[in-house]
Chains A and B, each alone.
Chain A
Amino acid sequence: MTILEDRPSNPAAGDHDRPIGHGRMQRKEDPRFVRGKGHYVDDIVLPGMLHGAILRAPVAHARLVSIDTTEALAHPKVLAVITGTDLQALGLAWAPTLSMDVQAVLVTDKVRFQGQEVAFVVAEDRYAARDALELIQVEYDVLPPVVDARKAMDPSAPIIRDDLAGRTDNHIFDWEAGDKAETDAVFASADVVVKQEIVYPRVHPAPMETCGAVADFDPIDGRLTLYETTQAPHAHRTLFAMVSGIPEHKIRVVSPDIGGGFGNKVGIYPGYILAVVGSIVTGKPVKWVEDRSENLMSTSFARDYIMQGEIAATKDGKILALRTNVLADHGAFNATAQPTKYPAGFFHIFTGSYDLAAAHCTVTGVYTNKAPGGVAYACSFRVTEAVYLVERMVDILARKLDMDPAELRLKNFIKKEQFPYANKTGWEYDSGDYEPTMRLSMKMAGYDELRREQKEKRERGELMGIGISFFTETVGAGPRKDMDILGLGMADGAELRIHPTGKAVVRISVQSQGQGHETTFAQIVAEEIGIPPEDIDVVHGDTDQTPFGLGTYGSRSTPVSGAAVALVARKVREKARFIAAAMLETRPEDLEWEKGRWFVKGDPSVGKTIAEIAMGAHGTIALPEGIDGNLDAEVTYDPPNLTFPFGAYICVVDVDPGTGHVKVRRFIAVDDCGTRINPMIIEGQIHGGLTDGVGMALMEIIEFDDEGNCLGGSFMDYLLPTAMEVPDWETGFTVTPSPHHPIGAKGVGESATVGSPPAVVNAVVDALAPFGVVHMDMPCTPARVWEAMQGRTRPPV
């Protein structure tokens, strides 16, 4: 076990107090955030800048009959009103989505979800732009909507995507993984089979900063500068070039400080495109920033999976197989952001942490009259849904077998010696050692004592529940042979320059939305080349300043970009060896590395530090053949596999028997994300993800009424958890390094969001066991818990 946090400091660098590269250092970016000096898209003000606002459809499904902009154009502060017809003339009415579908930028023919973009007003200020929306007259011919995904494939269902040639139904795709015949055979001969419909309702990432853009098109040299809330600036630039016809080298995408993403800022929204069009049309910069309701109603939602789960086992608790059919509601456009080969993301990791004889899943995607999206909210490309399914099914099986859920999990884990482990749906788990992690969580929780307490309380009529979730994640997409988004391989670049004085700048292709990249990546470089993290600047988020790469989502920054940064630092270190050899007039193979310095083998007093070598590289010494005069390098990293972080979570809840109110009393989270770079940042990620998980399990849901009206369009209706709803998190860790990652690190950003909802729901269901409840769907609101106690569990959709 390696815990780099505990590595000794490097006296050579004059830093005796702190490990040089790794460790619990404070975040370099925080001084500007805590002092209110962050610089977000909405902070950008350009000379002559105008403001845009979007008119949105009030209904879910309607034919657009007419649109009259006369009155809006007459507003004294309005400069332009853009409609779908205007965009059609420019060939921009429809834009490609990240899933090979198209999405309307502005409605030309038909409204397909409530909140869809209908017209764009450009005005002198934001107030006027908003006011002018009310001056646009639109006539709609309202159509019956498809709201329930279960009815989307009914022959009588209205066809939502009649824009697509030959389309006669609302079907998007069927996808499967695993061996059906083999799985069916195992099920047919199993002692015990349990089935359960499990719904993961629609939720929303709801980042603190809503989406927005400032577009600045320079008509003289044809250059577009686009400031955007994006998690993937390079991918956006390429797509903008492909869609708009503006050559890629004339486009600069800048993603400044981003106030949370969670997958909400991966896609290209109509608002971004409209800001660009607005700037081209008016010849001035145009800012568009959506409001909270627009964010909740129109941008990428998450989940919306209706899963029929089945699990097979022997009567003594050996889990044999798992199968599921999933109905996936993708909304009005198939706009999920995920690798092309995997329309259901990485859902097929639904075999979880268990050694199974067989597994099979099918996923059917359908269109409905709801906002598009599906892959968001820290889901690791649908691992959230997969983990929720398997961890609920294992608990349901434990109940059926009358086994302790911890014991059932321990009995069925993939064993340490089985790694790398090929599961039954095509994944190769790179590493794992599950039992110690599970045992540590049980020890921290005082598991046996909790069960005793629960038994006593049940005898008194009190409702206490203990829920376990053991998750395995698959993050760090991904190997280019398997993974691309719209043909762009999921690799990431890194460039490192050591300045003559030994200070450095590392340029990365991923973009932080709060993850702490400016610290973490500096720490990786520091560890590899032995200069303090404070001396390393991390540049990101500007396509003119950074190498190409696919961006930050799916917990991929450390697995992919972190590897790129480690490798580019090693490249620089190796180059430094040659330059040091020239400076010391010796051979490179006669030099030995200690952190920050090359020295002569056998004579440690003779050596050169990185700073001395950098000055040498830019100086006047004769350089060896093939070594040019700098200490710079670049790499593009194509990961050989994904990384497979895992964790054991235990949640303790108390349920008020009279009201159904759930109180999360304790939450123990033991995470294994391989090598830990900055434990404080990791804990921050875990705390946030656990809070997300409690929110989803207890209160978050985007609901629709029968007319397709979104019922979660404000923070009065879409509930996010506060400090009052969550306990003091009890975190722990184990370290199982990734064997293929240069420093053994795995992703961690989404682990807690993925792993915690089943722990909370398992705890609630466990608390309700005296009422015979074996399953209830999220969110476990007081009313829904009370209904479950009355024997009336019902799906949320």
Chain B
Amino acid sequence: MQIPAPFEYVRASSVDNALALLDRHGPESRVVAGGHSLLPMMKLRLARPDWLIDINDLFELDYLLVDTVPNNGRVLRIGAMTRHTTLLESDDIKRLFPIVIDAERVIADPIVRNRGTIGGSLCQADPAEDLSTVCHVLEGVAVVRGPAGERMLSMAEFHRGPYETAVAQNELLIEVRVPIRDDSGSAYEKVERRIGDWAVAAAGASVTLAADGTISHVAVGLTAVGLDRNVTEVEAVLVGQAPTEQLFVEAGRLTSLACDPLADQRGPVDYKRHLADELTRRVLRAACRRAAASISDITI
């Protein structure tokens, strides 16, 4: 039994109540959702909050719905308390964003996925967090609520770096909005030493094809290799081109140059750069194949 440092515990009853509690207990209070990142850190006494504000009763944040939002068009709205399992089992997600299914399948194990939430994953902002990359690639928008009301942040604005987000101490991430694009496909692939271990490296891609079969829009993101943004370097190379193996090879090469991995027990730098390259090629291939499959008259 690993014993955390002493802390106080309170259950929030609503978003407003949670915000009030955060305000009341100040900087040494932490929100706990699924708890699968925070609690192990507390047990190792690496995290020592004075107050734990449990938001597991905030069922109002557990939803998935396709909606039309002014200025954004059609979006998938994902409540911050949506569990990994819900995402994995959603037909809407399977149809619209196969990248999420790819990623969810390799996030920890069913026990963790039953508890862990998308909001917790994004706010933890672990460099090896898969959903951060997925949301970057899908160009999601984070809806953050605080005492001053709601604000909308692009993933680039939201995700500031390892373990760091734009969510202030007295704010709560309440929703992620993912724009729905027609004629698109997406994919994610991860290398790990063992199921449930953190990624050695992972890559995600989303591709939209034009009527002529060329790539009209693309986003590529990486996990655990020191890049907290999409690999924008590849976009100019890919957009306007017909997807070919040669193109994927060039994209992979650029990706391996763009990343900035650290050597650790999961592998040396050159291996991780190699994975950035290899996995980028794989996810682009899969994303293009899936996009083409959604448009019956294009085959690649």
Task: List residues of chain A with CB under 8 Å of any chain B CB.
Answer: 42, 126-127, 130-131, 134, 289, 291-293, 658-661, 698-699, 703, 711, 714, 716-717, 719, 721-722, 724-725, 781-783, 786-787
Contacts and interface: CB of A to CB of B under 8 A. Distances in A.
7 contacts: A698-B193, A699-B194, A719-B193, A724-B195, A781-B193, A783-B266, A786-B267
Contacts of A134: 5
A698 B197 CA distance: 13
B3 A782 contact: no
B265 A711 contact: yes
A126 B265 contact: no
A725 B193 CA distance: 10
Interface size class of B (residues with CB under 8 A): 20 to 34
Question: In the complex, which of the residues A292, A658, A703, A724 has the most CB atoms of chain B within 10 Å of its own CB atom?
Answer: A658
Given A131-B6, A289-B1, A783-B268, A659 B195 contact: no
Contacts of B191: 659, 661, 782
Interface stretch (B154-162, B229-237, B270-278): B270-278
Contact of B1 (A291, A698, A786): A291
Contacts of B296: none
B267 A722 contact: no
Contacts, number: 66
B2 A783 contact: no
Contact of A782 (B109, B193, B195): B193
Contacts of B198: 716
A720 to B, nearest CB: 8
Contacts of A131: 3, 5-6
B27 interface: no
Contact of B278 (A293, A659, A699): A659
A797 to B, nearest CB: 13
A781 B272 CA distance: 13
Given A659-B278, A725-B194, A717 B268 contact: no
Nearest to B6: A131
B278 A716 contact: no
A367 to B, nearest CB: 25
A781 B267 contact: yes
Contact of B3 (A130, A698, A786): A130
A703 B193 CA distance: 15
A711 B267 CA distance: 14
B196 interface: yes
Contact of A717 (B196, B200, B265, B282): B265
A298 B266 CA distance: 23
Interface in B254-285: 265-268, 271, 274-275, 278-279, 282
Given A130-B3, A293-B44, A786 B274 contact: yes
A699 B275 CA distance: 19
Contacts of A724: 109, 194-195
B147 interface: no
B109 A714 contact: no
A714 B44 contact: yes
Contact of B40 (A659, A661, A703, A716): A716
Contacts of B1: 42, 126, 289, 291
Given A131-B5, A719-B193, A783 B267 contact: yes
Contacts of B200: 782-783
Most chain A CB within a 10 A radius of its CB, from B1, B2, B268: B1
A658 B278 contact: yes
Question: What 6 A-B pairs have minimum CB-CB distances, sorted nearest first?
Answer: A783-B267, A724-B195, A130-B3, A658-B278, A291-B2, A719-B194
A722 B44 contact: no
Which of B196, B265, B266 has the largest count of A CB atoms less than 10 A from its CB?
B265
